[in-house]
Structure 1
Amino acid sequence: MASTPTLRTARAIVALTAVVALTACTTTSDTRDGTAAVTGGTLSVVGPVEVHSLEPATSSELFTRLQVSETLVATDADGALRAGLATGWHADDDTTWRFELRPTAVFHDGEPVTADAVVAALQIAYDKEGSPLTGAPVAEIGVDGDDIVVRLDEPFASLPAVLAHTSTQVLAPSSYDEDGAVTEVIGSGPYAISAVHPPQRIEVTASEHWDGTAPAITDVTYQAVSRAESRALMAESGQSDVTLGMDPVSLQRLQDVDGVQIHSVTLPRTIQMKVNGEHPALGDPLVRQALSAALDRQGMATALLRDPEMAATQLFPPSLADWHQDDLTALEHDADEARRLLAEAGWEEGPDGILVRDGERFEITLRTFPDRPELPILATAIQAAFADVGIDLSVSISNSSEIPAGHQDGTLDVGLYARNYALVPDPAVTLLGDFAPEGSDWGAMGWNDEDLTAALEAMAEGLDDAQAADARAQVAQIMQDELPVIPVAWYRQSAVVNERVAGMTLDPLERSWWLSELTWSS
């Protein structure tokens, strides 16, 4: 089919913009065979996440991903804890943790990173909503010589993992106003902020104060582009060097494009449906089990995600090796079983094919958002699957904030989103928040389980290996039986990388893009 004039024009504009951008942002030198090799310039990173805030708890991890700011504790490519601003840490006793500060660290304003500055930043994080540090049993954050000392009200073995969360990033005192609000992001990482243009653009440059190996690529721009199709065109045309957040169809097409490489990593992230447990229909576990059985996860993963291995048979993906339970009875597609469960719950087929109980039709609304391009297409497939078993599902595609808003005002029926269970490297911390008795914006709604809460609290306090394994198995089984959130698909993160760039490695925890390790290809 011939391209429409509009599409041809759009492609031409993108291609022309790419030429201009590459001419302006790169320098070249002649190689021995006479071709031009890129030797410098500005690295262009494109992704779907917009710049809505400078605050660590609400900045969507952009400033840690760009390596502008650091946390006390970092993680490696295997997701294990490693040194960040702290070179080491240990528990003096059950309720006292000590963190040794890296002595050579310097903020981008030239001031040294002192224990007092770290404590001030952590105290601000502790006082702000949206940080897992707020939920930790912290009694006092203080200084002892050059060390940071955290005293707890009760044992909390997960504290080092919490201090790897991006909301605890340490900024210079000059970053804050007198009320503790961030007015400028002044970190201590390899890159310093040159400019921030909300909501689309961040510019960074290599910091002269960085005490580690200097980045080979000194200048980076991050551009937020909401449409997946636009990001794909930018990757294909060379306008973007590193492109994130690709939709499955574009990603498959780009695999055959010369000049780009696809890098992928399986994340500890699950696409799931949050279900309102206080809804007259959805509060019944039989109904939630029916909703799960109605889903053809294998078909959706194969046809829509182009990745059959991502069909979620349980909440925790194989990438969470300690949490994924191989012996758990898998969630499977069985439309007849879904109909049987719905009938057992009292639902009967109405005159138009939609189920009815006590005169009420089974009508619900699913809210989702386009930031992750696979969510709207999965929502359409879920709509068809539910219709097949007699459920009238409307789909509302809006801003991601509509899901927590619906949780808060009680109007949410079902929300479809992707949840990363290793935002804190210890998943128990995220689970404690998501499935707390009072519920959570991105977790349970109108549902709680005392046994699950007890198991998660015991893990946070500290268990031996065997006890922790038993607790994880118990949590997985409860989630599989009760389905307060219904798993749909696991998640594979991919980046389209231009051949000009070498050394790309994807972080399985999505804390950093590790741009300081990239080089220009020769």
Structure 2
Amino acid sequence: MTDERRRTMDRRTALQTTLGTAALAVSGCLANDENGADFRIGSPWKPNRDPLDGGSTIRRLGITEGLVGVDYDASPAPELATDWERRSDREWEFTLREDVTFHDGEAFDATAAVDSLTRTVDAPAFEDVPIDAVEAVDETTVAVTTETPFAPLPAHLSRNEAVILSPRAVDDDGSVTETIGTGPFAVESFNPNTEILTARNDDYYGQVPALESVRYEVVDDDQTRRMKLENGELEMARILPHETVDALESTGGIDVYTPPVPRIRFLAFDTDSEPFDDRRVRRAASLAIDRQTITESLLDGLVDPAVGPFSPSITEWANPDLESNPYDPDQVRTLLDDAGWTGTAGETRTRDGVELSVEFLTFDARSLPLIAEVMQDHLAAVGISVDVRTLEYSAMIDRVNQRSFDAYFTSWGTLWYPDPDRLAELYHSTAASIPHGYGNDRVDTLLEDARELDERAARLERYHEVQSIVVEDAPIAVVTDYTNVIATADDVRGYEPHPTESHYGLEAISMDGE
């Protein structure tokens, strides 16, 4: 479609006509159960139509796809692009699939890909990705030029914000009017922040799903999701509390999955203000935390203690030499003594008449307040008095962004895109998205070099060194890895949890009897 035609035609009318006459190349027969779908998912995450604003759910449901996907080894993999080549330090070419159409019948080609990617590149979400230009070389080739050498480009193009939408999905003002992708499922109805009903895309280029339709429902309350599953109102309940695992496993008709995912719980310090401007105090606080006790007593042994951002069970980018539970009260006392904070056992330490008292901010999710209270006890045992304040997430973020905190306890996905360039968002002095004020010239140099290099071994060496340095500098104290708890009806077949949560793999799922 030319730009002129796109400007003059009524997009919504055209889309409705296509839906009615071609049925979107999607199965028009939804299962006739009371919830309007033959597979129902309950999750706390609210969906949004626009990939640039909360696009993870539409990606996970198999509605949208990017040029690059993420495989079960947590590595970049072909999706709408069959392969790619780094032609020079700053030039890449992506070869596109030739047998793909959007759910509205529009052809997927290089022009459509460039239009969609240009919108992504111009968005705030991609402002730190040094893409200079995206161009169509021919109908099946897209060229991407970066401002600087940038090895992790394919991983960044696997991000949810970089999925490819149909030209008719985006209005002239840049807003998304309909979520129209290329995936194995197409949107049948969409109620933002509430639910999505999808139907099978019978013309999908890959594995055509056995499921005819899927309904995604936002269910905020953990126990309600569990009850809906047990009552047969859901076939899948996601993000359930760790403490429900034993009960779920003993409940008939339910299968339970506890896959590790690349997410960490960590304490971030304000490194610009007392007392955590002193590396010795930050390191002491980290060493005072008994991570093994936390994971075993609070999290039922379902997650591992952690000290680095990556789990060795998920990716080789993890530094294997990091000690998983560096609990050492004796060293804590030595560090605090050296920093001038003194006191007797069982009392809060002081320096120059000032008590070593700090505030930890957190929010009520992912067991964070419960863990924070246990850490409070651990630090009190070595003379650090901690006041834990649990806020609404937005209120905590406001405090953090205003740099009005001593430390905050939060959770963060470490392979949101499958490349260790993500470490720059944790530790780089100017590129970090995690407020802490930390800066280390050696860490900056390693991160900057690693994102330019093409050789994996050379990148690995640099990222391992970064992880070793920041454990000692302790701008953050990583406490645990993370495990999702997902439960399904026991007649669900073919479900395999994805290591980075980038998709649910619904195209591979079937139900007994199908």
TM-score (norm 2): 0.88
- Quick check: 109-118 or 230-239, which moved more? 230-239
Is residue 122 of structure 1 aligned with residue 117 of structure 2?
Answer: yes
Q: Which amino acid aligns with 2:82?
A: T
Aligned counterparts of 1:409 and 1:309: Cα–Cα separation in 2: 32
Q: 2:166 aligns with which of 149, 172, 189?
A: 172
Structure 1 residues 476 and 73: CA distance shift in structure 2, 3 A: same
Q: Deviation digits for residues 204-229 of structure 1, max 9, x if unmatched?
A: 22235533332111211212222322
Aligned match of 1:36: none
Is residue 88 of structure 1 aligned with residue 83 of structure 2?
Answer: yes
CA apart distance, 1:403: 4.4
Aligned match of 2:257: 263
Is residue 397 of structure 1 aligned with residue 390 of structure 2?
Answer: yes
Aligned counterparts of 2:375 and 2:190: Cα–Cα separation in 1: 39
Q: Which amino acid aligns with 2:276?
A: L
Structure 1 residues 289 and 70: CA distance shift in structure 2, 3 A: same
Structure 1 residues 171 and 449: CA distance shift in structure 2, 3 A: same
Aligned counterparts of 1:291 and 1:127: Cα–Cα separation in 2: 41
CA apart distance, 1:481: 0.7
Is residue 24 of structure 1 aligned with residue 34 of structure 2?
Answer: yes
Name the SS of the counterpart of 2:114 in structure 1. Answer: helix
Aligned match of 1:438: 430
Is contact 2:341–2:349 with CA below 8 Å preserved after alignment?
yes
Aligned match of 1:459: 450
Size of the aligned set, in residue pairs, is: 482
- Quick check: 316-325 or 80-89, which moved more? 316-325
Aligned match of 1:30: none
Correspondence 1:131-280 to 2 at 5 A? 131=126, 134-146=127-139, 147-280=141-274
Structure 1 residues 269 and 200: CA distance shift in structure 2, 3 A: same
Name the SS of the counterpart of 1:310 in structure 2. Answer: coil
Aligned counterparts of 1:213 and 1:69: Cα–Cα separation in 2: 15
Aligned match of 2:276: 282
Name the SS of the counterpart of 1:381 in structure 2. Answer: helix
Is contact 2:305–2:324 with CA below 8 Å preserved after alignment?
no
Q: Deviation digits for residues 222-268 of structure 1, max 9, x if unmatched?
A: 12222322222223333221111111111222111111111232222
CA apart distance, 1:60: 5.2
Name the SS of the counterpart of 1:509 in structure 2. Answer: coil
Name the SS of the counterpart of 1:130 in structure 2. Answer: helix
CA apart distance, 1:276: 1.4
Name the SS of the counterpart of 2:133 in structure 1. Answer: strand
Is residue 420 of structure 1 aligned with residue 449 of structure 2?
Answer: no
Is contact 1:270–1:489 with CA below 8 Å preserved after alignment?
yes
Structure 1 residues 152 and 239: CA distance shift in structure 2, 3 A: same
**Structure 1 gap segments, 5+ residues each:** 1-20, 27-40
Q: 1:361 aligns with which of 336, 355, 362?
A: 355
Aligned match of 1:521: 512
What is the root-mean-square deviation of aligned Cα atoms in Å? Answer: 2.4
Is contact 1:48–1:371 with CA below 8 Å preserved after alignment?
no
Aligned match of 1:310: 304
- Quick check: 495-504 or 203-212, which moved more? 203-212
Aligned counterparts of 1:413 and 1:123: Cα–Cα separation in 2: 40
Q: Which amino acid aligns with 1:92?
A: R
Structure 1 residues 229 and 391: CA distance shift in structure 2, 3 A: farther
Name the SS of the counterpart of 1:121 in structure 2. Answer: helix
Q: Which amino acid aligns with 1:357?
A: R
Structure 1 residues 287 and 95: CA distance shift in structure 2, 3 A: same
CA apart distance, 1:130: 2.2
Aligned counterparts of 1:510 and 1:290: Cα–Cα separation in 2: 34
Q: 2:67 aligns with which of 62, 68, 72?
A: 72
Name the SS of the counterpart of 2:458 in structure 1. Answer: helix
Structure 1 residues 367 and 42: CA distance shift in structure 2, 3 A: farther
Aligned match of 1:103: 98
- Quick check: 494-503 or 336-345, which moved more? 336-345
CA apart distance, 1:437: 1.5
- Quick check: 98-107 or 334-343, which moved more? 334-343
Aligned counterparts of 1:367 and 1:195: Cα–Cα separation in 2: 39
- Quick check: 412-421 or 353-362, which moved more? 353-362
Aligned match of 2:57: 62
TM-score (norm 1): 0.86
Is contact 2:49–2:55 with CA below 8 Å preserved after alignment?
no
Aligned match of 1:16: none
Q: 2:38 aligns with which of 25, 29, 42?
A: 42
Name the SS of the counterpart of 2:172 in structure 1. Answer: coil
Aligned match of 2:329: 335
Q: Which amino acid aligns with 1:206?
A: R
Is contact 2:302–2:483 with CA below 8 Å preserved after alignment?
no
Structure 1 residues 231 and 368: CA distance shift in structure 2, 3 A: farther
Q: Deviation digits for residues 388-428 of structure 1, max 9, x if unmatched?
A: 22333222333333444333211133222222221111122
Q: Which amino acid aligns with 2:41?
A: V
Aligned match of 1:113: 108
CA apart distance, 1:330: 4.7
Aligned counterparts of 1:227 and 1:367: Cα–Cα separation in 2: 23
Is contact 1:72–1:170 with CA below 8 Å preserved after alignment?
yes
Aligned counterparts of 1:195 and 1:393: Cα–Cα separation in 2: 48
Aligned counterparts of 2:240 and 2:195: Cα–Cα separation in 1: 19
Is contact 1:226–1:371 with CA below 8 Å preserved after alignment?
no
Aligned counterparts of 1:315 and 1:377: Cα–Cα separation in 2: 21
Structure 1 residues 195 and 25: CA distance shift in structure 2, 3 A: closer
Same amino acid, percent of matched pairs: 27
Is contact 2:428–2:439 with CA below 8 Å preserved after alignment?
yes
Aligned counterparts of 1:230 and 1:376: Cα–Cα separation in 2: 21
Aligned counterparts of 1:358 and 1:202: Cα–Cα separation in 2: 60
Structure 1 residues 65 and 465: CA distance shift in structure 2, 3 A: closer
CA apart distance, 1:505: 0.4
Name the SS of the counterpart of 2:251 in structure 1. Answer: coil
Is contact 2:196–2:216 with CA below 8 Å preserved after alignment?
yes
Aligned counterparts of 2:343 and 2:205: Cα–Cα separation in 1: 68
Structure 1 residues 79 and 321: CA distance shift in structure 2, 3 A: closer
**Structure 2 gap segments, 5+ residues each:** 1-30
CA apart distance, 1:301: 0.3
Is contact 2:264–2:411 with CA below 8 Å preserved after alignment?
yes
Is contact 2:241–2:485 with CA below 8 Å preserved after alignment?
no
Q: Deviation digits for residues 423-461 of structure 1, max 9, x if unmatched?
A: 111122x112332313534x3511011111211221211
CA apart distance, 1:174: 2.1
Aligned counterparts of 2:309 and 2:425: Cα–Cα separation in 1: 16
Q: Which amino acid aligns with 1:434?
A: L
